[in-house]
Structure 1
């Protein structure tokens, strides 16, 4: 049997869990040399062999850029 104090605690725990999980998958913005700003879903990854930077957009499509075309990568 739940006491009134425990009933109000579970929504708080749920809210904290959601905040912690959302903090794990940060979004980034890639600033390109030609002035474009590309929003990413998750952290972009650099391929050590090819030098290409891979990222996923808001629709979960994967894209690649050459390192020389990237000015900076900023966490939102």
Structure 2
């Protein structure tokens, strides 16, 4: 009985630890010096825009020509 409880606790702890590691934010650096933080990975559209969800959860878009770099924030 004790072994099964220890096993269950280990599995639950492992799942919680792994799910915490998969949450990443992304920084979008623009040519004019702004840094935009996105909760999800920004997606490029065929229209030349980069779509992202900002830190407040609002969906936004920015022209690809304004974006200098996109990097993952651990």
Deviations 1:7-66 (A, max 9, x none): 122232122223333444532111111111111111000011x11000001221101000
TM-score (norm 2): 0.82
Return structure 1 stretches of 4+ with deviation > 6 angstroms: none
**Per the alignment, do residues 16 and 45 of structure 1 end up closer, same or farther by CA in structure 2, a change over 3 Å counting?**
same
Structure 2 unaligned spans of 5+: none
Residue 5 of structure 1 deviates from its aligned partner by 1.5
In structure 1, the gaps of 5 or more residues are none
